[in-house]
Amino acid sequence: GAVVSQHPSRVICKSGTSVKIECRSLDFQATTMFWYRQFPKQSLMLMATSNEGSKATYEQGVEKDKFLINHASLTLSTLTVTSAHPEDSSFYICSAGTGAREKLFFGSGTQLSVL
Amino acid sequence: DAKTTQPPSMDCAEGRAANLPCNHSTISGNEYVYWYRQIHSQGPQYIIHGLKNNETNEMASLIITEDRKSSTLILPHATLRDTAVYYCIVRGPGGSQGNLIFGKGTKLSVKP
């Protein structure tokens, strides 16, 4: 099946720094990518939807200036957590699809710990 | 909000069939039913999806009722590695509606 690669798998950073997470579709072109966040023992929460070449659409309550999303090509989307704080510590997961009615494939996730 | 309702947890004996129910009574005519599972600290794994006909693949079978208001995921011979949280998701046709909205899922524990 299709593969979505997410990097890094784990990152620890100091409060106030920025962290970039990459999501790549390895064997297909992803017109749409989604970014999720998951806190311990909770379900995945959609943060934003990104379409190649256009601005991301953020879910209500997600700060677009804090969580910068770039989808510059059909195989790469990045999520940058700016000025990270301990409350941003979470498991971040991306997913990618080729269009409507297709399967969405998920990355392996990034565990962010902000000290 | 998630448009599905699932039991929070289920147990299954190893080697037996695991039947995971899902209610989606407000599903629209063009919405598909998707099943994913998540093993601890990993990204969700696609299992199967369907519109109105029953579906089967190498992992599982999906049985959708005729009125499409509920479905059942069947793992025919559960193994210990099938222990995971299983999510039943109703997905729209595409674009901003094409994302997957996750509910709380069912935590399946397969026991020896």
Mark yes or no for CB contact B43/A109 under 8 Å. yes
Q: Which residue has the tokens 């949280």?
A: B85
The single residue listed with the structure tokens 């997913």 is A95
**Which residue is closest to B99 within chain A, CA to CA?**
A34
**A103·B43 Cβ contact <8 A:** no
* A1-54 residue pLDDT tens: 668 999 999 999 999 999 999 999 998 888 889 999 999 989 999 999 988 888
A60 touches chain B (CB under 8 A): no
Rounded Cα–Cα distance for residues B25 and B98 (Å): 19
Of B58, B77, B62, the closest CA to residue B12 belongs to B77
Q: Which amino acid is at A108?
A: S
The nearest alpha carbon in chain A to B101 belongs to A46
CA distances from B5 to A28, A38, B24, B27 (A): 32, 19, 7, 12
Residue with tokens 């995945």, as numbered in its chain:
A44
| B66 contact partners, CB below 8 Å, separation of at least 6 | none
Main-chain phi, psi angles of B96, to 5 degrees: -70, -20
Band (pLDDT 50/70/90 cuts) for residue A58 is: very high
Restricting to A residues 63-102, those with a Cβ less than 8 Å away from any Cβ of B are: 91, 93, 95, 97, 99-101
* CA separation for the pair B34, A66 (Å, rounded): 31
**Residue-wise pLDDT tens digits, B11-47:** 999 999 999 999 999 898 888 899 999 998 899 999 9
Do residues A91 and A44 lie in contact, with contact meaning Cβ atoms separated by under 8 Å? Answer: no
CA–chain centroid gap for B37, Å, is 7
Q: Pick the range with the lowest mean pLDDT from A13-17, A40-44, A97-101, B86-90.
A: A97-101
